[in-house]
Structures are given as C-alpha cells and as structure tokens.
A and B are shown apart, each in its own frame.
Chain A
Amino acid sequence: MTCVPASTEKKLGLVIDLDTCVGCQACVTSCKEWNTGGSMAPLTDLDPYGGSADGVWFNRVHTYEHTNEESSRTVHFPRSCLHCDQPACVTVCPTGASYKRASDGIVLVNEDLCIGCKLCSWACPYGAREFDVAVGVMKKCTLCIDRIYNENLVPEDRVPACVAACPTGARHFGDLGDPASPVSRLVAERGGVDLMPEMDYRPTNKYLPPRARSVSDGRGNAPALEPVAEGGFLGWVDRMLTR
C-alpha cells in the first residue's frame, strides 16, 4: 500500500558531514559495486566504455563553491535518497511498488510491481530515483538492507556500503528516530539540517554544514625562512648561481 505509515518504529538513515567530505567518490563507487550485485541488481550501465556512458547510480557527489562574507570554500555534496517521513515518491505510486517500511522507515521499490511510469522520480525533489531503461523499472537507494541486517557479515560491516567505504568518516549510519542514538546526538551537536525543508518531505537523512573556519592569529605558524646570505662564501655562491 502506498499510503505512508503514520509512524515508524525506527528511522534509519544517514548523517553526512559536509565539513569532512573530500569528494573522493569512494561512497559512490562502493555503492555501485555493492548494489549492482545486491537486491536491486543489476544497476545497468549503457555504453560503459564508450563516449556516452549512462547508468543507474544511487549516490552521486556534486561539488559546490559556497561563498559568504567570511570565506569562500569548496563543498563536496553527496546526494542520495533521504528516506523521507513524507515521501511523495511513495504516495504517487499507482501500483504499490513504492513503499515505506513501518519497521525502520526505509523507502523501497518492489521491482516486481513497478510498471516504470516514472512518476515517483518526478515527485522526488532530490533526484534520488533513477530509472533503469534496460529493466524498465525504477531503482533507488535501499540503505543497503542486504548489508545492515545481514548476519553473514561481521557486525562492523552491517552498515551501508557508502558508510563502510568513506575514508574520512563523513558518513554516519543509525536510528535518527532515537534522540539518544549517536547519529541523533551528532545532528544536535553540529546543527544538522534537512534539505529543502520548505518542501515538507521531512527527510530522515541529515546534513552537517561545514564548521566555521578558524582564523589564525599567527602564533602556530612556522618561523619565516632565513634570508639568503648577503656576503661571505654563501653570498658569493648565490651571486655566481644567480648570474
């Protein structure tokens, strides 16, 4: 049923730290690698080695320049499904293929019911869903349900592939419905935000804005280099070499 559950037992999701993300694309490629063999497999690639490669990806990293009065900085911005509390992608689905799980809040697509009408991708303001032209159905991030509950994996690997891959620890996974969970505390400490709050989709995933840049008072700086000798032997060498 494509009606959204009134509440979910858990709100599993990601917290993404825009301060530490270095835009290395490791989360992007490990997401693709895991999911092209996972429950939504395959993630089709058309013309993968040609000049017009086009494929299905659940996670994409943009790069922006953010300029304000104090500074201008480069911000790498991973974009994936936010597993919203009010996911219009689910309610617009005419077949019941799209659904939000009452147990953990994860938004999923049942590929066997999807007719490929693409309306869910129109209803998502974040561009989280991508249509697989080879299979004729819509695909999206599953929050790696085939990892996070997978008892064949060691407990520390039971996190989404993107989280496991992040070399800078910019991606955090947990229950955002529990205010005492590490991810909820992180959001509270760092002032985590919703994307497009005005749309009122109430995303579960949160983004931590870059920290304010610290201004150096010069005390920690390395001493300036000695000036090149004017006279003596070294001065003579300097003059000879500069000639």
Chain B
Amino acid sequence: MHPALSVIVFTTATGAGYGLLAWLGAFAAGGVLPSNRWFALAALGLALALITGGLLSSTLHLGRPARAWRAFSQWRSSWLSREGVASVVTYVPAGLFAASWILLDRTDGIIAVTGLATAACAIITVVTTGMIYASLKPVAQWHTPYTMPGYVIYALMSGAVLLNAMLYVSRDESRAMSWIAFGLIALGWFWKNLTWQSNETLGGSTTLSTATGLAGGAVRSIEWPHSEENYLLKEMGYRIARKHAAKLRMFVHVLAFGVPLAATEVAILSDGWLAAFAAVLAALAMIPGLLVERWLFFAEAKHTVTLYYGRQAA
C-alpha cells in the first residue's frame, strides 16, 4: 500500500495525542494529577494539538476535503465514519476536563469524572482508527488480530513517554509514570515483533488462481492491461525492497523501542537533570521511530489486487 505522508502523520500524531489524553484522564480519575496550571496547559495543549493537527492532516488525503463533514454520517457501517464521530465526541469531555483542570485548578470531583470520560473516549477513538485497517480483508497484513491492539498499544506507549518527559521537565516527575512508560515500551516492542513474525508466515488463501477462477495448475501474468502505471498500481501496488525494509525495521527497533526503553530506565535509575534529559530523549527518539513504524505498516502491506498484476503471494 502507498504510504501517504498525510495518513502516516495522522495516525501517529492522533495516536500520541489520544494516548497522552488517556493518561491525563486516568490520572485525574485516580486523583494523582499535579495541581499545576502551567503543566495542565502544556500537557493538554500538546495532546489537543497533536490530535487536531493529526485530524487536519488526514483531510489532506481527501480528494474533496471541503466535504469532510459528510464522513460523520455512516457510523452504522463504516469504521472511518465511527472514527470521525468518536474523534469529535472526544472533544466534549476533553474540553470539560481541560476547563475544570486549568480554569478551576481542581484535581478532584468533577475533574475525576471528566477525566475518566476523556480517557474512555480517547481509547475508543484509537480503537476505531485501528479497526479501519483491521477490517480490510484484501490486505492480509492488516486483517489480523494484531492490528487494532497495536494501534492502542502504540498510542498509550507514545502518550506515556510524552507525559513522562513532560513530568520530568516540569519537575513533577513520578516513578509510577516512568514505570508505566517503561512497561508499555516493552509491551509495544514485543507486540511489534509478534506482528512482524506473524506477517512473515501469513498464509493467505487468495492466489492468482482464485482471483481469476483458473483452477488447477499454475497461472502466470503475461501481459498487463496497460503499459503505464495506473491508480491501482500507484495506490495499492507500492513495493519496498526487502533490503530497505530490513534496514528500516532496524531503525524502528532502535528508535521506537530500544532507545526509549533504555532512556526511560536511565530516568528511573537517576535523578536531576540526567533523569530529565533521559526522559526527553526517550520521547524525541520515539517520534521518528514511530513515524517509520507507520510508514512500514503501509509500505509492507500487500493488497490482493496486485495478484492480478503478477505479484506472487498475498
């Protein structure tokens, strides 16, 4: 599948934003939010900026962005529409949560309720994003039980790493948050390995034989319908060389998981400026790491239509 920059930015930015929002909401519900207006403004500001920026980026992918509002109508059948609805609905508890935390400067009662609602809405939105891809049968690498949980895990992971870094910078650091970030990076790394392993052995039952109805024997493409590229090949026929995929996977191993995991551990074990530096480093490394992870998510996914053009396995 063609890795469109607008969609890569959309999924990673909103993922991190909703993850951050979910953790802030959960901490509000647990009554452990720092009573610090500037921190509240910065953390909620970053979360909402990532979410809003990501959602705006997704409209760049549209052929007719001015009609984007129509996408809220088909939530009964379409995961994309559900995602649109969930993303807008989330602004309501998030707005109340932000108002009660920043304006009222309270960390109990109303903020616990709005925080919990915000966290729930944020996670539901990420689930709908994951389901857009997980529900597509023609893309074997996406139509697996790994896709949707992956989106949730990477969202909570990047949100936790961002929150951990911000807590250190504002000197409100929390050991518990650092351990949560550490645990989620480990879980995310494990999940990514599991997903890649499963994709290696993906035995799709769709072949050129079933695609053409020519049963038995071997079917080989000898002539394409057109001599130049077309929409199908540009959009669905994106191919990435295996050697580049291996290098990029290594990049993901190191920047999305390895460095953040080690840096978070350093932050836990040290104090003062070193700990703050390590926590910020974890967040800075994860940004390009997750962007490349998402790029590979698209670039390595193979659509059944490419079988018609002579690609071998689904």
Binding site for B on A (CB under 8 A): 1-4, 18, 28, 51-57, 60-69, 74-75, 77, 79, 88, 90-97, 113-119, 121-127, 130-133, 135-138, 193-201, 207, 209-210
Contact = CB atoms under 8 A, between A and B. Distances in A.
A240 B100 CA distance: 112
Interface residues of B, number: 59
Contacts of B222: 63-65, 74
A131 B61 CA distance: 12
Contacts of A124: 138, 305
B218 interface: yes
Given A95-B73, A114-B63, A116-B64, A198 B221 contact: no
Given A79-B308, A113-B70, A115-B65, A194 B213 contact: yes
A178 B65 CA distance: 42
A2 B78 CA distance: 8
A118 B206 contact: no
Smallest CB-CB A-B distances: 8 pairs:
A116-B63, A68-B217, A136-B63, A127-B305, A60-B225, A94-B81, A63-B223, A125-B138
B18 to A, nearest CB: 19
Nearest to A139: B231
Nearest to A51: B228
Nearest to B234: A54
B74 A66 contact: no
Given A57-B230, A127-B305, A136-B63, 9 more contacts: A53-B227, A63-B222, A65-B222, A66-B220, A91-B78, A117-B80, A118-B235, A125-B305, A209-B214
A94 B64 contact: no
A65 B220 contact: yes
A66 B214 contact: yes
B225 A61 contact: yes
Given A135-B63, A209-B215, A125 B231 contact: no
Interface in B264-314: 303-305, 308-309
